[in-house]
Amino acid sequence: MSLHIRVLFLVLVFVPFISSAPPPNLTKDYYQKTCPDFSKIVRETVTPKQGQQPTTAGGTLRLFFHDCFLEGCDASVLIATNSFNKAERDDDLNESLPGDAFDIVTRIKTALELSCPGVVSCADILAQATRDLVTMVGGPFYEVKLGRKDGRESKAHKVKGNLPQVNQSVPDMLSIFKKNGFTLKELVALSGGHTIGVSHCKEFSNRIFPKVDPGLDARFAGVLKNLCKNYTTNKTMAAFLDPVTPAKFDNMYFKNLKRGLGLLASDQILFKDTSTRPFVELYANNQTAFFEDFARAMEKLGTVGVKGEGDGEVRRRCDHFNNLNV
């Protein structure tokens, strides 16, 4: 082998390795020395907020999911649009993300900046707050490893195709989950997060207007039609994703699907589709199995596309990049 060929071979082999930053090593005690009160501050901030606004838990869980499935768990969904850039949160698929979820992250960031300025990332705040809120309303405890950095990009035009939509088929949703390393079973487990939270009428209006979806329970459909009768003029109207135990994280969501009480078409199809129905049946009959699988899936979700020192930052404000012209 000539010297020229050997050199070319080494360049081809090693350049990809050198040019990409290694993934960060997330750890439970990342802030033990730099911000020892991190967990305490998060917990003491989310507790009163959830008490005042019971939909905060569901909203924050949804915000976390939307963040991680586009560009990884890097708090890019928190960025506000400015004159230079239309951010993720202003894409149509994100326009109904609840203000309470953004608010809780802002409150925690404000408290942490007083205690340990410039240390804790917004991405870690969102991950930890989501776990604490889920457990507060009865969901499983799962481990949150820390050390994420905040992303430096948030583009609205990248949202479509990276988030599941309310009228998609199971294969279409699975293709999006697979891009992030998730299996069909994990898709169903994470969908169980809809045991808390709300959805705006426009997300399921096609199931009740002009005709009722035959897969929807008739009495439930009547309630929804009355609730949403003015949804085109009152865009704030919303319904609980779990109409039976909306404030409790449990396996009722899956029981509801068996009774035609799935609010979104993408919920109900999990029972209709033969590939996902066995998992719905499993979780409807065994809450422990659901909790265990949900917890593992959430731990996995929290590691998707995380940024390290080389390709991220710790924002001073969660809704702005440190370089405001980005």
User: Residues with catalytic annotation?
Assistant: 66
Q: State the DSSP string of 208-241.
A: TSSS--TTS-HHHHHHHHHHTTTTTT-TT-EEES
Q: Which residues make beta-bridge pairs with 200?
A: 238
- Alpha-carbon distance of 185 to 260, in angstroms, equals 21
SS3 assignment for 164-186: CCCCCCHHHHHHHHHHCCCCHHH
- Alpha-carbon distance of 183 to 188, in angstroms, equals 9
- Alpha-carbon distance of 30 to 100, in angstroms, equals 27
Q: Residues 6 or more apart from 101 whose CB is under 8 A from it? A: 56, 59, 60, 62, 63
Query: At which residue do the structure tokens 């326009």 appear?
Result: 95
Which residue in 258, 286, 282, 285 sits closest to 271, CA to CA? Answer: 258
Q: Residues 6 or more apart from 200 whose CB is under 8 A from it? A: 96, 231, 235, 236, 237, 238
Which residue in 247, 266, 236, 311 sits closest to 176, CA to CA? Answer: 266
- Alpha-carbon distance of 325 to 191, in angstroms, equals 37
- Alpha-carbon distance of 24 to 149, in angstroms, equals 9
The two tokens of residue 51 are: 């008490």
- The amino acid that residue 156 corresponds to is A
- The amino acid that residue 282 corresponds to is L
Read off the DSSP letter of residue 163. S
